[in-house]
Amino acid sequence: MKGGLGNIVRQAQKMQAQMQQIQEEMANKTVEASSGGGMVKAVVNGKQEILAIKIEPEVVNPSDVEMLQDLIVAAVNEGIKRSQAMMSEEMGKVTGGLGVPGLSGLF
């Protein structure tokens, strides 16, 4: 019985190390999302950090700031969603698609 428990602990430690490595690698991977037919773009890394917002000049209309704000929110939210999906996919490779308790907050 002891050998089995020790093996489980070693496997868990290995998985934890792999997940830590993936999280570090995700900081260097990016996704891009857009709204308004590409008029507003958001670049997000694997840590769900917004790295850049790109706005085409023709969408900037001082009399309709609300539309621009909505396009920015939509692009950022889609970027974060794509970043989370990228992280979940990478973590799934380590966990074998298993739902590991306590890890859901990491990705």
CATH code (residue 47): 3.30.1310.10
Give me the DSSP letters along 27-79: TT-EEEEEETTTTEEEEEETTS-EEEEEE-GGG--GGGHHHHHHHHHHHHHHH
* In a domain? residue 53: yes
* In a domain? residue 32: yes
Mean pLDDT over residues 19-23, rounded?
A: 84
- pLDDT of 90 higher than 90: no
* In a domain? residue 106: no
At 61 the pLDDT is: 93
At 99 the pLDDT is: 54
Q: Which residues contact 46 (CB under 8 A, 6 or more apart)?
A: 23, 25, 26, 27, 28, 29, 30, 83, 86, 87, 90
- pLDDT of 16 higher than 50: yes
Q: Which residues contact 91 (CB under 8 A, 6 or more apart)?
A: 19, 22, 103, 106, 107
Tally of domains in the chain: 1
CA–CA–CA angle 35, 89, 107 (5° rounding): 80
At 34 the pLDDT is: 97
Give 25-71 pLDDT, tens digit per residue: 888 999 999 999 999 999 999 989 999 999 999 999 999 999 999 99
Q: Which residues contact 50 (CB under 8 A, 6 or more apart)?
A: 42, 43, 44, 76, 79
* In a domain? residue 80: yes
What is the pTM assigned to this prediction? 0.72
Domain range for 56 is 2-96
* In a domain? residue 42: yes
* In a domain? residue 50: yes
- The C-alpha atoms of residue 42 and residue 71 are separated, in whole angstroms, by 10
* In a domain? residue 107: no
* In a domain? residue 103: no
